[in-house]
Amino acid sequence: MSTQDPNDNILLRVDDLKMHFPIYRGVIQRQVGAVHAVDGISFNIRRGETLGLVGESGCGKSTTGRTILQLYRPTSGSVQFDDVDLVHLKGEDLRHMRRKMQMIFQDPYASLNPRMTVADIVGEPLMVHSVATAKEIQDRVQHLLALVGLNPSFASRYPHEFSGGQRQRIGVARALALQPSFIVCDEPISALDVSIQAQVVNLLEELQSQFNLTYLFIAHDLSMVKHISDRVAVMYLGVIVELATRDELYAKPLHPYTRALLSAVPIPDPVADSKRERMILKGDVPSPVNPPSGCRFRTRCPIAEAVCAESRPEFREIRPGHFVACFFAERFL
Amino acid sequence: MPDFILDVQGLETTFRTPDGVVHAVNGVSFGLAEGETLGVVGESGCGKSVTMLSVLGLIPSPPGKVEAGKAIFGGQDLLKMSNEEIRHVRGAQIAMIFQDPMTSLNPVLTIGRQLEEPLMLHIGMSKNQARERAAELLTMVGIPNAKERLNDYPHQYSGGMRQRVMIAMALSCSPQILIADEPTTALDVTIQAQITDLVKRLRDELGMAIIWITHDLGVVAGLAQRVLVMYGGYIIEQAQVKELYANPEHPYTIGLLGSLPRVDETVRTKLYSIEGQPPVLYQKPNACPFAPRCKWALEHCWNENPPLLEVGPDHRAACWVDTKTGRHR
């Protein structure tokens, strides 16, 4: 699966990853079903690259990020990071790998412990992984705060003394503490005001070029994903329906879902907005407990045919580097 | 000056908090023409919601207080009405829909019951008439099997469907004005597109005026005819929608538009970012409230808060600086 030029410098390989959450019912808590949150996805991320992962709420994009980091242990499939298989790692070995991969969370109000000072929060990863002495930690925290654009003298303050944008900077500093090579950014800006979003995105971009970081950037905001990503994957109901370089994906979307999603994004320009064609999808996303047979998108798809209900379309490379899971993608070539 | 169906003048609202009196709305004036769609744009805490809640007498008091101003609707001042009087306006002539469709419906009453209530209360329909009308309304907002679904409870509806119910409820008494407070913010983009499409269609069919409050400059671009931009409790710029997006004059509006990435952008540039944060005003400022974040700020900006100045055809901005030249206007 997913062989995008094997010579490339690949940091992360995800192959047929599945994450099903069991549903238990009744007195004896029998398993009656499962939420198919992630249902067989494959992709690679190259070193220094930003892969954008977009989709609507409940499509499994956050679960994907968490499963890659082994915060959830996957149902099946493999995750190779730096040629090490994370799925079968345990205990100290896994902890050791975790230094190299970190996460920035969506809600800067919930992801920082209100009883800890900023110095404790940012220094905690260093302490947990016992990579530095107390004095070194102190210096490193000062350095990290300066790096993310916070005044180092704020280190003894508590999270409630900061605004949303500043808190997200603290989250970024914490993620950087162990000098990781890979960061999962799980909707890092969607809880922030518009004028603050740009500040945080610019910071992430600066840090990336400074430390050659690799990002998995999870978001539902297609315009921000376009701005920050090198390649973009579109998820729908637990599967990736399309993956391509950002220019190609936005200029020539081939999956009907991607096309609908892109046409639904409002453009902040009344002239351009009135000129384009809008494709409005009917209905809502079906439940991942009982996803539709065959193609997941067929219940809302404007071009679905009988075959879409019968078999699941293969996630195939239709053009070099452009993957799509649709029987009729050629129509839009 | 065109005839306004709603004319708000000099509205001021404050909130008493343990930290002091917060000046949330500081002398806001605007008019709404019949059948017009007015976009109100700004970030959290800029006073956009409080302005509309003040007009409808929905500010919890205390701690809130409408300190000054007029809101003329149908020849009467809404701000001077008693609770009893304004209750007949609210819902019947001016309706409002809110941001979070998950919390604005009562979870223990059926959708039908909640839709029937305003019909019986404001129009005086009988139970049966109201039931029938409720089904019509649900069909109008695009919910299939409306008759059966009236018996459902809110948790059986998805987020998009709940927002449709809110819209149906708001439109049930054929209001002249619909105030929509970030109605699509909690929804996914494809559902957001469904809802804005629905509102556009209903607006054209029913001919009501709409005030659409949002932080999303993208949504307003496709929907509104005229836009107000708010900052720190002031209207800092207003213009026709095309004029505003083509020639933004206030540094804040310029910054906001610049900080948005666009799906139709072709070259990747660094996003323009406005440094600093929006203010919380514990006293009415003597300076421009945006001055601390403004790269064009002159000495005058720190000494006097600029009023809305005429900067173009039907285009006003509260700024002392001509951003094209960087000089004082």
pLDDT digits (tens, 9 = 90+) for A141-171: 999 999 998 888 889 999 988 888 889 999 9
A239-245, strands of its sheet edge to edge: A101-104, A182-186, A214-219, A50-54, A231-236, A239-245, A322-324, A316-319
* Closest partner CB to B218 (pick from A56, A202, A268): A268
Q: CA quadruple A158, A163, A167, A173: dihedral positive or negative?
A: negative
Average pLDDT value for residue range A118-146: 91
Q: Does B197 touch chain A (CB under 8 A)?
A: yes
Record: contact A195-B194, CB cut-off 8 A: no
Residue B87: CB atoms within 10 Å: 14
Bridge partners of B315, per DSSP, are: B312
The crossing angle, in degrees rounded to 10, of helices A118-128 and A164-176 is 20
Q: What six digits make up the tokens of B294?
A: 């403004």
Q: Which residues of B touch A268 (CB under 8 A)?
A: 217-218, 221, 245, 257, 260, 262
pLDDT digits (tens, 9 = 90+) for B115-171: 998 889 888 889 999 999 999 888 888 888 888 889 999 888 888 888 889 888 888
Residue B20: CB atoms within 10 Å: 13
Residue A32: CB atoms within 10 Å: 11
Record: contact B256-A194, CB cut-off 8 A: yes
Residue of A nearest to B224 (CA): A270
Q: Does B16 touch chain A (CB under 8 A)?
A: no
Record: contact B190-A281, CB cut-off 8 A: yes
pLDDT digits (tens, 9 = 90+) for B54-110: 999 888 888 889 999 999 998 899 999 988 899 888 888 999 988 777 778 899 999
Distance, CA of B17 to CA of B60 (rounded, Å):
13
Q: Are B317 and B237 in contact (CB under 8 A)?
A: yes
Residue of B nearest to A164 (CA): B277
Query: If you average pLDDT over every residue of chain B, what do you get?
Result: 88
Average pLDDT value for residue range B182-196: 83
Distance, CA of B69 to CA of B59 (rounded, Å):
14
CA distance B74 to chain A (A): 32
* Closest partner CB to A267 (pick from B160, B246, B263): B263
How far does Cα A263 stand from its chain's mean position? 22
Distance, CA of B310 to CA of B317 (rounded, Å):
7
Kindly give the pairing relationship between strand B209-214 and strand B177-181: parallel
3-state SS track over A153-208? HHHHCCHHHCCHHHHHHHHHHHHHCCCCCEEEEECCCCCCCHHHHHHHHHHHHHHH
**Complete DSSP assignment for B16-80:** EETTEEEEEEEEEEEEEETT-EEEEE--TTSSHHHHHHHHTT-S-TTTEEEEEEEEEETTEEGGG
Q: Which residues of B touch A226 (CB under 8 A)?
A: 261, 263, 265
Distance, CA of A46 to CA of A231 (rounded, Å):
10
Q: By C-alpha distance, which of B221, B251, B240, B223 is closest to B319?
A: B251
Residue B142: CB atoms within 10 Å: 18
Q: Does B43 touch chain A (CB under 8 A)?
A: yes
Cα torsion for B138, B142, B147, B148, to the nearest 10°? -120
pLDDT band with cut points at 50, 70 and 90 for residue A192:
confident
Residue of B nearest to A267 (CA): B218
pLDDT digits (tens, 9 = 90+) for A90-122: 888 999 999 999 999 988 888 999 999 999 999
Q: Looking at this protein, which amino acid is placed at residue B306?
A: P
Distance, CA of B114 to CA of B136 (rounded, Å):
14
Kindly give the pairing relationship between strand B64-73 and strand B234-240: unpaired
Record: contact A227-B278, CB cut-off 8 A: no
Record: contact A264-B190, CB cut-off 8 A: yes
What's residue B143's pLDDT? 83
Q: Which residues of B touch A229 (CB under 8 A)?
A: none
**Backbone region of residue B217 per phi and psi (left: phi > 0; alpha: psi in -120 to 50; beta: other values):** alpha
Q: What six digits make up the tokens of B164?
A: 């449709």
Q: Does B192 touch chain A (CB under 8 A)?
A: yes
Record: contact B273-A199, CB cut-off 8 A: yes
Q: Does B20 touch chain A (CB under 8 A)?
A: no
Q: Which residues of A touch B274 (CB under 8 A)?
A: 195, 198-199
Q: Which residues of A touch B231 (CB under 8 A)?
A: none
Q: Which residues of A touch B278 (CB under 8 A)?
A: 193, 195
The crossing angle, in degrees rounded to 10, of helices B159-171 and B127-140 is 130
**Complete DSSP assignment for A100-158:** TEEEE-S-TTTSS-TTS-HHHHHHHHHHHTT-S-HHHHHHHHHHHHHHTT--GGGGGS-
DSSP letter assigned to residue A332: G
pLDDT at B274 over 50: yes
Residue of B nearest to A59 (CA): B188
Q: Looking at this protein, which amino acid is placed at residue A133?
A: T
* Closest partner CB to A227 (pick from B246, B268, B277): B268
pLDDT at A292 over 80: yes
Q: Which residues of B touch A250 (CB under 8 A)?
A: 263
Q: Which residues of A touch B217 (CB under 8 A)?
A: 194, 268
What's residue A190's pLDDT? 83
Distance, CA of B196 to CA of B218 (rounded, Å):
12
What's residue A103's pLDDT? 94
* b (16+ CB within 10 A) / e for B154-171: beebebbbbbbbbbbbbb
pLDDT digits (tens, 9 = 90+) for A201-214: 999 999 999 999 99
* Closest partner CB to A267 (pick from B194, B242, B264): B264
Q: Are B73 and B8 in contact (CB under 8 A)?
A: no
Distance, CA of A171 to CA of A37 (rounded, Å):
26
CA distance B252 to chain A (A): 9
CA distances from A208 to A14, A49, A216, A332, B38 (A): 22, 9, 12, 34, 41
Picking from A193, A208, A271 by the largest number of B CB atoms within 10 A of its own CB, the best residue to mutate is A193
Picking from B188, B195, B229, B266 by the largest number of A CB atoms within 10 A of its own CB, the best residue to mutate is B188
Q: Which residue has the higher pLDDT, A71 or B44?
A: A71
Q: Does B280 touch chain A (CB under 8 A)?
A: no
Percent of all residues in chain A with a pLDDT value above 90, rounded to a whole number: 63
Distance, CA of B285 to CA of B96 (rounded, Å):
31
Q: Does B108 touch chain A (CB under 8 A)?
A: no
Q: Does B216 touch chain A (CB under 8 A)?
A: yes
ipTM of the shown complex: 0.77
pLDDT band with cut points at 50, 70 and 90 for residue A8:
low
**Backbone region of residue B50 per phi and psi (left: phi > 0; alpha: psi in -120 to 50; beta: other values):** alpha
CA distance B79 to chain A (A): 31
**In this complex, how many residue pairs, one in chain A and one in chain B, have their CB atoms less than 8 Å apart?**
124
H/E stretch holding B244: helix B241-246
Q: Does B218 touch chain A (CB under 8 A)?
A: yes
Q: By C-alpha distance, which of B39, B71, B53 is closest to B238?
A: B39
How far does Cα B170 stand from its chain's mean position? 15
What's residue B78's pLDDT? 92
Picking from A59, A163, A194, A274 by the largest number of B CB atoms within 10 A of its own CB, the best residue to mutate is A194
Distance, CA of B101 to CA of B105 (rounded, Å):
7
Percent of all residues in chain B with a pLDDT value above 70, rounded to a whole number: 99
pLDDT band with cut points at 50, 70 and 90 for residue A7:
low
Q: Does B190 touch chain A (CB under 8 A)?
A: yes
What's residue A68's pLDDT? 95
Kindly give the pairing relationship between strand A182-186 and strand A231-236: unpaired
